[in-house]
Amino acid sequence: MAEWKLYYDGGCNLCHASQLRVERWAAKAHQPLSVDVLLSDDAIAKGYADAMVLEADGKVLSAADAWMQVMTIAPWYLRWLSVMRKTKPTMALASWVYAVVAKYRIRLFGSRSCQLPPRA
């Protein structure tokens, strides 16, 4: 299996908890995974903005597309969601849900200090 690289918002509680969950899932699925924050020099150089990004299997996926790819390594009771990524209506709904959660995530889940110092 090729290594996946996950970039996430290190300052959001929901994003941080999700990143920890994905690391556990990857370990159980024997999926090599490395993680970095969107404020890292690497992410900025690649032009990644404010949505979660997953580099997986030679593709760069972001937002809902990235989450649906992550569902392929989720526990069995969530893995069925990965099959749903193949239908346009499901992806439209997933994209809408992701956008709403992304917009209100700090209000709903709070923020934390980012692991990297703020950029000048």
Any idea what the CATH number is for the domain that residue 68 is in? 3.40.30
Flag whether pLDDT at 113 surpasses 70.
no
Residue 119: inside a domain: no
Question: 34: domain range?
Answer: 4-109
- pTM score of the predicted model: 0.83
Close Cβ partners of 72 (under 8 Å, ≥ 6 residues apart): 79, 82
Residue 100: inside a domain: yes
Residue 44: inside a domain: yes
**Higher pLDDT residue, 75 or 107?**
75
Of 63, 57, 59, the closest CA to residue 7 belongs to 63
pLDDT of the residue at 80: 87
Report residue 59's pLDDT band, with 50, 70 and 90 as the boundaries.
Answer: very high
Residue 99: inside a domain: yes
Residue 117: inside a domain: no
Q: What pLDDT, in 10s, does the model give residues 13-54?
A: 888 889 999 999 999 999 999 999 998 999 999 999 878 999
pLDDT of the residue at 114: 53
Flag whether pLDDT at 118 surpasses 60.
no
* Number of structural domains the chain divides into: 1
Angle at 43 between CA 52 and CA 109, to 5 degrees: 35
